[in-house]
Amino acid sequence: MLQIYIAQHCWGCDEALAIGHEAAQRFPRLRVEIVDLDEEGARRPEEVIAVPTFLLEDRVISLGNPKPEWLFERIAQALERGG
């Protein structure tokens, strides 16, 4: 699973959303979850200290927006490990 934490005040979060949508299209087996921390009831894990933050397999892999190709390589590796 890829989780992307965003917030309304975040200037880079539109790009994070675009990266997330592209990841979902490239990797149909990947579950992409967008977590808007401004929504009521949204929970922020302790390790999320800024937005946007990308978590892959419950581990922070990027604070801020990663280069898409770098992220997609990490996703492909995670999917290979996961079967």
Range of the domain at 7: 2-82
CATH number, position 26:
3.40.30.10
Q: What would the pLDDT profile of 8-51 be if each residue is shown by its tens digit?
A: 999 999 999 999 999 999 999 999 999 999 999 999 999 999 99
CB atoms within 10 A of CB 33: 11
pTM of this prediction? 0.93
Mean pLDDT across 49-57: 96
Alpha carbon distance 41, 62 (integer Å): 24
Cβ-contact 2, 59 below 8 angstroms: no
Total domain count, the chain: 1
